[in-house]
Structure 1
Amino acid sequence: MLRQSGISSRAFSQRIFAQRRLASTKTIREVLQEVIPQKQAQLQELKAKHSQASLGDVKVENVIGGMRGLKAMLWDASVLDPIEGIRFHGLSIPDCQKQLTPAPGGKEIIAESMLWLLLTGRVPTEAETRQLSREFAEKGDLPKHVEQLIDSLPKTLHPMTQLGMGVAALNHDSQFAAAYERGIKKSEYWTHTLEDCINLIARLPALAARIYRNVYKPGTPIAGINKDLDLVGNYVNMLGYGHNHDLTEYLRLYIAIHGDHEGGNASAHTAHLVGSTLSDPYLSYAAALFALAGPLHGLANQEVLRWQMNMQKEIGDKITHENIKEFLWKTLKSGQVVPGYGHGVLRNPDPRFIALQEFCSTRPELLADPVIQLVKQTYEVAPGVLKEHGKTKNPYPNVDAASGCVLYHYGLTEFKYYTVIFGVSRALGALTQLVWARALNLPLERPKSLSIDAIKQIVEKQ
């Protein structure tokens, strides 16, 4: 029968499997209805059996050293290992690249499939991913009052300041705030938080693109949202670069792998802290964006590119390992750090850096770019110099060492805008964990602080 119809048994099986997957497609809300009770039970068991278990003593260096490495925060979407790097619900970046759905006609992970994984702990089907893309597109237009607010801001106001203000203004339509005001059960908090988070992620591309066009391309029209495109496909269209497939693919990868990096980083932690007060997701994420805007956090990517271009200007066309080594030592001896190298947790090359380098390695036009070549050769030299210098705990590159130079190659040359793209991305992780904080009824975050005198008294008693 199969031979008569011209269909192989393998192709027939694949067709049946695809039909079954399509028939069992669930919404992200339905999946969470299944997953949340399981996670609630897991947390209750942890409280009941192990609440007094030690995770390590708190030391003075934890109190005065930025709480580095202190195990004191619940964050379920990802875990950062100093050697292995980031894992999202147990999946490494290469695992995600193999298992998570790309856009039609693309190869890179898209925001929707990464969001689904971060939020539910499950790998979505292609149909589920497309369904979420459609929902984002349908909800992606900005309210008129937010458009008017952004359009009224001075073009000289930093793009990250504008992004934070725009996100805060979106809370006008917060479903969680409205539901809380009229009175709802704690068990319902997560459902209204989820709706706010979906709506916010859907609108971030239009908000971020409007800021870009106002500041850097004033007077040019902004493309409307295409209901058949994924979140990043529409974002790139609205930025005015929809014709560039490679840039679109790069931003898909960039936004997916920047989406979450454990909960202790400043922006994620800020969202978690503000969210613990039961502020709505818009206010919580606006606060996170202002943390991301700091030079020691999300602003670092533009500092790396500026440093790399200064190096290129100084050494000219003669790019050799020796010339790079001399520039590295010049930077270090001037009392500056080498931007893009080192990390608060990692002690190996950042897997996100490796993923972006591999993206470049498959495109000859990127490999031919002098700045990208310089990034590659700096990676070959810098760890040795930093080890010899001896003052860097991690002499290897983090993601910032590579991310900006590719944007620059594709024509996005406006340094101050780079952190806005990071801000669109980091919403994937920070907002999903707000949903879980409400689902698990996590308490108001309130650590104990100590004065210097109090610390001295404790130490002296010991």
Structure 2
Amino acid sequence: MALFFRINSRRCLELQKLSSGVGIRSLSDASVDLKKIIADKIPKEQERIKAFRKSHGSKKVGDITVDMMYGGMRGIKGLVWEPSVLDPEEGIRFRGLSIPECQKLLPKATNGTEPLPEGLFWLLLTGDVPKDAQVKAISEEWASRSALPVHVTKALNNFPKTLHPMSQFSAAITILNSESEFVKAYSSGVHKSKYWETTYEDTMNLIAKLPVVAATIYRNIYNDGKGIGSVDAGKDWSFNFSTMLGYDDPDFIELMRLYLTIHADHEGGNVSAHTTHLVGSALSDPYLSFAAGMNGLAGPLHGLANQEVLVWLQKLRGEIGDNPSDEELKNFIWKTLKSGQVVPGYGHAVLRKTDPRYTCQREFALKHLPDDSLFKLVSQVYKVVPPILLETGKVKNPWPNVDAHSGALLQHYGMKEMNYYTVLFGVSRALGVLANLIWARALGLPIERPKSLSTDQLIKSINV
């Protein structure tokens, strides 16, 4: 028995040492120099991973089935993603923190109640909960880096209004790569151990510029190209984005702070995250990598989902009105399902409970717009849909995801242009995928190259 305890004590000590890196949340130190903080963490994290791989590199972490291969690799554990982890029961955790914990712990604007996205970015990069001064420093730095090159502004202003907002967004990000510090350093022969430094600089520049790009697109398409104003160096990222869009309602600005925080990351397997990582693994710069991710986000099965929800709700209202009875709503839902369609906004590839991102948006609505007719309808759908989906016997997760609610909130504050919603999603998603890209370069992760098989090879391998 004594031997058993000695062995297990050594194993516990080993695991404690391996888990003592950046992935474990702690309070941030007082420095406002984010790049230096990351530089201090990188050698420790490199050693932690090196030790872990040396001890456990040959161990299996899962089995792959034929259904997984044909089913979009769903459920295959094959990626390392540092900023967040998605648990089927708990939902998303950012460096170990749940969304309610982020809402409680991350710094807020003066008189604000929702977390600032700058604070989440600090957390995603460092694993530490930042102090107010550190978040303020990020806001100021992003404001100072926000100006667009003349050729990008010119391109944006020359795009036809008929070009989809996401196409404009992706194109502008792509041509911003003319400013890439990573490309300059790589061309000059910088050592690979320094790749992360210019990836960091590109990331900071790109995130700073995204609200200006996105607001210019919005103004050009929906406001006859009227000026977007200027970035206020004394205000936060979300405030500046909101006012450049033309919205100065304090509640809308708070909604943007919440929206840009909760949409920032959802581990590495979703299309936009995985695509950014995949393209970045070829040492494409952050601009090209993120633009590729945005092309994935533009797909109707990913970033357009909240738009699909609103289209369905509009059809519902057109057929049974704004105040249907539960029975009328049930009949409409069964009609939707029997026609071979799904109820958009319900279900998730990983989650097996109500998405915490849905819950925090619902709480925001209960606080700020409890009598909004569309919110009331969304709430009624939330009550009626899950039991029906369970009754079909075909649905593993009958609960709503983030997209079931976000569009209703934007509609309430006057942003009716559904085609634009995915751009908002894209601005937010930069925080998570680019934070991970910095760590991918810091850890020297290689180009991604999984092995593929033909159906004939696969059948042969199974029959052997």
Please, which runs of 5 or more residues in structure 1 have no aligned partner? 1-20
Shift of residue 167 of structure 1? 0.4
Where does 1:37-56 land on structure 2 (aligned, <5 Å)? 37-56=43-62
Deviates more, 1:439-448 or 1:50-59: 50-59
Q: Which residue of 1 aligns with 2:390?
A: 387
Aligned to 1:448: 451
Q: Is the 8 A contact 1:212 1:417 kept in 2?
A: yes
> Quick one: distance in 2 between partners of 1:24 and 1:302?
42
Q: Are 1:101 and 2:104 matched, yes or no?
A: no
1:340 CA displacement: 0.1
**Are 1:409 and 2:412 an aligned pair?**
yes
- Alignment map for 1:298-337 (pairs within 5 Å): 298-337=303-342
SS in 1 for 2:92: strand
Secondary structure, in 3 states, of the residue corresponding to 1:362? helix
**Does structure 2 retain, via aligned residues, the 8 Å contact 1:312–1:371?**
no
Indicate conservation of the 8 Å contact 2:28/2:130, yes or no: no
The whole-number CA distance in structure 2 between the counterparts of 1:175 and 1:313 is 52
Match of 1:7 in 2: none
The answer on whether the counterparts of 2:215 and 2:241 sit within 8 Å (CA) in structure 1 is yes
Give 1:76 shift.
Answer: 1.1
Greater shift, 318-327 or 160-169, is seen at 318-327
Q: CA deviation at 1:22?
A: 12
Deviation per CA, 1:368-408, whole angstroms, max 9, x where unpaired?
Answer: 11111000110011000111122222100000000001101
Aligned to 1:199: 205
Q: Using the TM superposition, give the Cα deviation of residue 276 of structure 1 relative to its aligned residue in structure 2, in angstroms.
A: 0.1
Equivalent position of 1:339 in the other structure = 344
Contact 2:272 2:294 in 1 (8 A): yes
Partner of 1:353: 358
1:272 aligns with 2:246: no
Within a 5 Å distance, the mapping from 1:23-422 to structure 2 comes to 24-242=30-248, 244-363=249-368, 366-422=369-425
Unaligned runs of 5+ in 2: 1-26
Alignment match of 1:425 (pick from 409, 414, 428): 428
TM-score by length of 1: 0.93
CA contact (8 A) 1:222 1:238 kept: yes
Paired with 1:425 and 1:208, the residues of 2 have a C-alpha distance of 11
- Aligned-residue offset at 1:222: 1.2
Aligned pair count reads 438
Contact 1:77 1:262 in 2 (8 A): yes
The share of aligned pairs that are identical, in percent, is: 52
Q: Return the offset for 1:315.
A: 1.2
Partners of 1:213 and 1:220 within 8 A in 2: yes
Looking at structure 1, the residues matched to 438 and 278 of structure 2 have their Cα atoms a distance apart, in angstroms, of: 13
RMSD: 1.2
Task: Report the 3-state secondary structure (helix = DSSP H, G, I; strand = E; otherwise coil) of the residue aligned with 1:87.
Answer: strand
Distance 1:75 1:23 in 2: 24
Mean CA deviation greater in 386-395 or 153-162: 386-395
What is the SS of the residue equivalent to 1:367?
coil
User: Greater CA deviation, 50-59 or 427-436?
Assistant: 50-59
One-letter code of the match for 1:206?
V
Q: Provide, for residues 314-364 of structure 1, a one-character-per-residue CA deviation record: whole Å limited to 9, x for no partner.
A: 11143221121111111101111100001000010000000000011112x
- One-letter identity of the residue aligned with 1:330: K
Mapped contact 2:28–2:128 kept (Cα < 8 A)? no
Secondary structure of 2:86's counterpart equals strand
String of CA shifts for 1:93-144, please: whole Å, max 9, x gaps.
Answer: 0110110011222111111001000011111100000000000011111111
**Any conservation in 2 of the 1:302–1:418 contact (CA below 8 Å)?**
yes
> Is the Cα–Cα contact under 8 Å of residues 28 and 129 in structure 2 kept in the other structure?
no
Does the Cα contact within 8 Å between 1:176 and 1:280 map onto a contact in 2? yes
Is the partner of 2:420 in helix, strand or coil? helix
Tell me how far apart the structure 1 counterparts of residues 28 and 202 of structure 2 sit (CA, whole Å): 27
Q: 1:25, 1:125 within 8 Å by CA — same for their partners in 2?
A: no
**How far does residue 275 in structure 1 lie from its aligned partner after superposition?**
0.2
TM-score (norm 2): 0.93
Comparing 198-207 with 28-37, greater Cα deviation is found at: 28-37
> How far apart, CA to CA, are the structure 1 residues paired with 2:327 and 2:256?
33
Letter in 1 for 2:319: E
- Post-superposition Cα deviations, 1:237-287, rounded to whole Å, max 9, x if no partner, equal 100112x11111001101101100000000000000000000000000000
CA contact (8 A) 1:22 1:127 kept: no
Q: Distance in 1 between matches of 2:412 and 2:30?
A: 43
- CA distance in 2: counterparts of 1:406 and 1:56, whole angstroms: 40
Q: Within 2, Cα distance between the matches of 1:150 and 1:176?
A: 24
Answer whether contact 1:343 1:398 (CA < 8 A) is retained: yes
Cα distance in structure 2, aligned partners of 1:22 and 1:118: 12
410-419 or 32-41: bigger deviation:
32-41
Which has the higher mean CA deviation after the structures are superposed, 60-69 or 317-326?
317-326
Q: Which amino acid aligns with 1:447?
A: P
Contact 1:107 1:249 in 2 (8 A): yes
Return the letter of the residue paired with 2:402.
V
Q: Distance in 2 between matches of 1:237 and 1:374?
A: 29
Spell out, residue by residue over 1:160-179, the C-alpha distance to the aligned partner (whole angstroms, 9 max, x if none).
Answer: 00000000011001000010
Q: Distance in 1 between matches of 2:254 and 2:324?
A: 29
Q: CA deviation at 1:23?
A: 9.9
